[in-house]
Amino acid sequence: MIRKPGFLTFVGSIATIINLTLGTGIQFLGFLAASTFFDVALAAIGYSTVFKKPAYTIVSMMVLAITSAAVAGTVIGSLFMTGSTLARWGGVAGWTGLHMIGGAIGGFIGITLVLALKKRRITVYNESPS
């Protein structure tokens, strides 16, 4: 993971532009909102704090993954879903909940990968000594 403020928003912007170009729909702006939220929250917590100990990584990343997925679900449900489709999934709260489940699954996969890399002493980021 690149530990630079704004980078996750940049990646989310590129992904959103690519998806909008491919015609996947305007609702992908929810992903941009989620990546921006994740970026700001991670910078606010502090990269050194999050990755200091495996327990910190597990807890903070799961909370951030689930919360950012909730942001995406809320944005998509509130702004882009039609009434009948949204009602079928339990309204905005139901849509947000489904996204939170996806965030938990994605968070688990991401944490597993990060911890596996750390355990094998694979350096994914070096802080400069200055």
Residue type, 39: D
Q: Give the residue with greater pLDDT, 82 vs 96.
A: 96
For residue 6, give the 3-state DSSP assignment.
coil
For residue 23, give the 3-state DSSP assignment.
coil
Print burial letters for 19-49: b (CB count within 10 Å at least 16), e (below 16): beeeeeeeebbbbbbbbbbbbebbbeeebee
List pLDDT tens digits, range 50-92.
878 878 888 888 999 999 999 999 999 888 887 887 888 888 9
**What is the model's pTM?**
0.81
- pLDDT at residue 34 is higher than 70: yes
Mean pLDDT along residues 40-58: 84
Q: Residue 129: what pLDDT? A: 45
Among 15-19, 20-24, 31-35, 45-49, the least confident range? 45-49
